Structure formats: structure tokens, C-alpha cells
Amino acid sequence: MSTLVTGIAELVTNDVSRGEGPLGVVSDAALVIADGAVGWLGPAREAPAADRVLDVEGRAVLPGFVDSHAHLVFGGDRAVEFEARMTGRRYDGGGIASTVDATRAASDDQLRARLRALVAEMRAQGTTTVEVKSGYGLTIDDEARALRLAREVTDETTFLGAHVVPAEFAGRRDDYVELVTGPMLAACAPYASWVDVFCEPASPHAFDGDASRAVLEAGRRAGLGLRVHGNQLAAGPGVRLAVELGAASVDHCTHLVDADVDALAGGTTVATLLPGVEFSTRSPYPDARRLLAAGVTVALATDCNPGSSFTSSMPFCIAMAVREMGMTPSEAVWGATAGGAAALRRADIGHLGVGARADLTVLDAPSYRHLAYRPGVPLARALDV
């Protein structure tokens, strides 16, 4: 069964050889989908016949958003903590402990319902691939459970046992790192593709460079790809450690020194920016222009989680990236699609070309520019073909 999607005012391909500008835009376009992949794309007037036709009537079509950083397995929420921050309280990661308590207390079905609701929210806003982390269980069984549930909705699952040191290990950080790198990793690796660590010596709850290195190296030995939460609250070792170890992505990158930017520019690690965090913690936004000027690959993601960024909306992140981080609309759209795919080291998503996965997002608007131009308006949705 093949489908011709036509009536596309503007098709973003992310293939500069295919169309105009950095997003490879084809105007008045069509594409043919067969067996879940793109079989043909080009000007609508040259389109071949297909079994059925879907006319999007002058809308823009983009590669589905790739949200490469989200924490969707958790119980409870932290609306009261958010309200306190809006009147001046600082974010230091301490609130994670309350989500850990609520997550441990929740049933599988409660966690599954919340997870599925958030994935549906994302899809309704144009996200077709999402990465999901553990990190609110912090026992062997609770971390393995989080990843088992996450695997029900995505292959991009990340073991984040090293999120914070849980209360029962207070004052015994080294013992907790031993647990994470030993039996917890062994129990979680079968359900995980990636390992991540909250490398943030500025937080009393998170991990320093040495502990982070131990976690990442153990994850690598277990066959997992590497990701890092780094440089969120202050400059620190996270970015350079991520680049040195060849991590796929280092996320946050809010506080960078020149050596961090140089390392990113010389390495293969994507810098993933999470503007929902700065919005929700009332913090200064990362300097996207500085990274782009240095030639660093920049991705955008929601970091959807109950503490620092409870948004599932990639369009909202795109709008913030443009308005608050100095990115152009095309840089932001690239970051939310091809950038996210690069951060997950995926060649089959984040772009539209023959053979790519047929993950399409359609806008109730004629141009990708409207994502930032019309903030807060529900324009984007994943297209069910």
C-alpha cells in the first residue's frame, strides 16, 4: 500500500542537495510513502501515482521532531516547587528526591499511564521519536522497571541510575556509584541503549567528573552508548568528559568556558540545548550562537520532566530557541529534527529522503517559520499516514 502525500506548500527535507537553504526546502512538493519509508519526493507536478492520495492542502510538512532528551517515567509532580522558583527559590536538583519517592510508590500501571499520556502529548505536537531515561527509581528494581516500561514506547532508552545520590546512600556516594556501575547496571542494561549521568559538581546531589567517568566507562563496557547531563548549573567537567569519551550528546551546556566550546568543535559530540529548563528554572539561556559560530552540531530537546522542564512541546522549545537563544528559525527547526537524530546517532530519522523513515509532521501553516512566529499555537502534529 503506497500513499502520495501532496498539496505540501513547503517540504523541509534537511537535505541541502534537494532544496532551498539550510533546510533543503522543496516548495509545492509531494512525497510517496511505502512500507513505512519515503519512496519518492519532489515537485508535486512530477509525482508518480500511488494507491491512495492524502492532500494536506497547502500546509508545511517537516521530518517528525526527534526529542532526544526526556524523563517520562515518574510519579507525582512538582508544581509547588515550580511556584516557589518563580518567587526566587533556586534550582539545584534537590527536588528530584521527592519524585523518587513518588515513583517508587507508584504501580506499574500508574507509571505506564503517565508515560503513554506524555508520549501521546508529544505526538500531538509533532514529535515522532523520543528518548526516555530512567533516573527516578534509584534502586536496582525501580530503575529496571522504569526502563522496562520505557522500552514499551521507544527503543531509545537511557539508564540514568546516576541521576542523584538517593537518601538511603546519604554520605556514601562512593557506595552508590559502586551499585550503579555494578548490579544496577547489570539489571538495567538489557532494557537500555544508552547510559547517562548528571555530571554537576555544583549540585550537592549529583556527580563529579571522576564518578561520572566511572559510570560512563561501566556503561560502555556493558555495551551502552554514552550521553551526559553537563554544565547545567555551573561550568564543570561534563562537556569535556563527554567529548573525551566520545559521547553521542552532552545536554544542557548552559555554562561553558572557551575550552568546552573548543572541545565540542573538535569532537563528534552533539551539544543538546534544553531551553525548557531555563524557562522553568528562571535561568539564563545557553548561548547557541557561540556554539554555532564554532561549528558545533546543536540539537534541541524538551528535557520533559516534572522538576526542571515539564513541557512536552518541541514547538515551544523551537520558539524559545529563536526568541531567547538567538537561533534562526531554520537553525531551530534543524536542531529539533536532524540535530535530535544526530544526538541519537540515527541516520533513518530527522530528515526526509528516499529510504528515510516516513515520520512526518504537518503544520496548520504554510511554512516552518510559523513554529516560532506563532508561539503557543497548536500548529504541529505527527501525520498518521
Would you tell me which residues interact with ligand NIG (CB under 6 A)?
93, 95-96, 99, 198, 229, 232, 277, 303, 305-308
Distance CA 255, CA 262 (A): 14
Distance CA 198, CA 196 (A): 7
Q: Which of residues 328-367 bind Fe ion (CB under 5 A)?
A: none
* Residue number, 15 or 303, with CB nearest to ligand NIG: 303
Calculate the dihedral angle through the C-alpha atoms of 327, 330, 331, 335, rounding to the nearest 10 degrees: 120
* Residue number, 100 or 379, with CB nearest to Fe ion: 100
* Residue number, 232 or 330, with CB nearest to ligand NIG: 232
| Residue 357 near residue 348 (C-beta atoms within 8 A) | yes
Distance CA 57, CA 28 (A): 10
Size of the site for Fe ion (CB under 5 A): 1
Tell me the sheet residues that pair with 42.
30
* Residue 334 DSSP code: H
Give the interface segment with Fe ion, choosing from 52-60, 295-303, 332-340, 368-376 (CB under 5 A): 295-303
Binding partner selected for residue 95 from Fe ion, ligand NIG, none, CB under the kind-specific 5 to 8 Å limit: ligand NIG
Shortest distance, CB of residue 305 to ligand NIG, whole angstroms?
Answer: 5
* Residue 322 identity (one-letter amino acid): V
Shortest distance, CB of residue 75 to Fe ion, whole angstroms?
Answer: 17
Binding partner selected for residue 96 from ligand NIG, Fe ion, none, CB under the kind-specific 5 to 8 Å limit: ligand NIG
Shortest distance, CB of residue 229 to ligand NIG, whole angstroms?
Answer: 5
Binding partner selected for residue 280 from Fe ion, ligand NIG, none, CB under the kind-specific 5 to 8 Å limit: none
* Residue number, 134 or 297, with CB nearest to Fe ion: 134
Burial code (b: 16+ CB inside 10 Å, e: under 16) for 340-375 equals bbbbbebeebbbbbeebbbbbbbbebebbbbbbeee
Shortest distance, CB of residue 354 to ligand NIG, whole angstroms?
Answer: 36
Cell numbers at 232, concatenated: 547545567
Q: How many residues does the chain have?
A: 385
Strands, sheet with 2-12, edge to edge from the N-terminal-most edge strand: 37-43, 25-34, 2-12, 52-63, 360-363, 380-382
Shortest distance, CB of residue 368 to ligand NIG, whole angstroms?
Answer: 27
* Residue number, 159 or 198, with CB nearest to ligand NIG: 198
* Residue number, 30 or 70, with CB nearest to ligand NIG: 70
182 to 133, 137, 214, 261: CA distances (angstroms): 19, 16, 11, 33
Q: Which residue is nearest to ligand NIG (CB)?
A: 307
User: What are the strands, taking DSSP E only, across the chain?
Assistant: 2-12, 25-34, 37-43, 52-63, 65-67, 127-130, 132-133, 157-162, 194-199, 225-230, 249-252, 270-273, 298-300, 360-363, 380-382
Shortest distance, CB of residue 42 to ligand NIG, whole angstroms?
Answer: 40
Kindly state whether residue 196 participates in binding Fe ion, applying the rule CB under 5 A.
no
* Residue number, 127 or 311, with CB nearest to ligand NIG: 311
Cell numbers at 323, concatenated: 526568541
Shortest distance, CB of residue 91 to ligand NIG, whole angstroms?
Answer: 7
* Residue number, 278 or 303, with CB nearest to Fe ion: 303
Shortest distance, CB of residue 198 to ligand NIG, whole angstroms?
Answer: 5
Distance CA 357, CA 382 (A): 13
Neighbours of 107 (CB within 10 A): 9
One symbol per residue from 47 to 76: x for binding Fe ion (CB under 5 A), - otherwise; what is it? ------------------------------
Shortest distance, CB of residue 25 to Fe ion, whole angstroms?
Answer: 31
Q: Which of residues 296-315 bind Fe ion (CB under 5 A)?
A: 303
* Residue number, 205 or 345, with CB nearest to ligand NIG: 205
One symbol per residue from 230 to 269: x for binding Fe ion (CB under 5 A), - otherwise; what is it? ----------------------------------------
Write out the residues near Fe ion by the rule CB under 5 A: 303
